[in-house]
Amino acid sequence: MDYCGPFLVRPLVGRGASVIAFFVCLVVHLEVIADLTSVACINAVKRFVARRGQVFELRCDNATNFVGADREGLKAARQAFREQFRSKQWDEYYTTSGITFRFIPARSPYFGGLWEVGINSFKYHFRRIMGCKEFNMNQLLTIVTQIESVLNFRPLAPLSDSPDDISALTPGHFLIGEQLFSIPEPDLCDLDTKRLSRLQVMKRSAQDLWRR
């Protein structure tokens, strides 16, 4: 797990910036986070678990929000749960269902190569496509989710040894049992952006990232 950003968004009042939480194993999961507090980190982990299932271990760097989420949030909640439900049955559930944070050594980002590579592949294309555009939260959530689908469509290994079979195993297979799909839309990449509506600009941004 790691963060990348900030990205400019238009909040309901005033101006603000958001970051993207990057969860990666074989599958990429992206979460838009409004601030860098421990509470926001805990909420992102909760959303991730709710959508992707049980997590036993999270590896990350020593950012204060990660350390705070581990110490002040998740550990404290587990201990409070254990004190509230004192029985052998719940104690077994407690010991097998918690999340353990594994922190890499301080100032050693190369220990997080697995997620750093994924974040770089996301940021490199995202920043070049989006530039200095500002999005509201709804638009940012949409484009980030589409980018997540693109990253989870990447080929991992061929599905057969036949030279006529170009199908590949993708991270999407681990999510839904087959490749991920998107809604069919016309190609907008060759059109002048000044002629496009706001919705079409969002569509073109996703198409540009797919091409890259």
Across 18-24, average pLDDT:
86
Beta carbons of 110 and 20 less than 8 angstroms apart: no
Confidence band for 166, pLDDT divided at 50, 70 and 90:
confident
Q: Dihedral through CA 106, CA 73, CA 140, CA 12, nearest 10?
A: -120
Is pLDDT above 80 for 177? Answer: yes
Rounded Cα distance between 104 and 60, Å, is 6
Residue type at position 205: S
pLDDT for position 30: 92
pLDDT for position 92: 62
Summarize pLDDT for 187-200 with one digit per residue, the tens.
888 777 777 887 88
Domain regions of the chain by residue span: 2-211
Beta carbons of 37 and 56 less than 8 angstroms apart: no
Is pLDDT above 70 for 144? Answer: yes
Rounded Cα distance between 98 and 94, Å, is 6
Count the residues in the chain.
Answer: 212
Rounded Cα distance between 212 and 74, Å, is 38
Summarize pLDDT for 58-105 with one digit per residue, the tens.
888 988 888 888 887 677 777 776 777 776 666 665 556 678 888 988
- Residue 185 is given by DSSP the state -
**Which range among 3-12, 156-165, 189-198 shows the weakest confidence by mean pLDDT?**
3-12
Summarize pLDDT for 131-141 with one digit per residue, the tens.
767 777 888 88
Summarize pLDDT for 101-132 with one digit per residue, the tens.
889 888 787 788 878 888 888 888 788 777 76
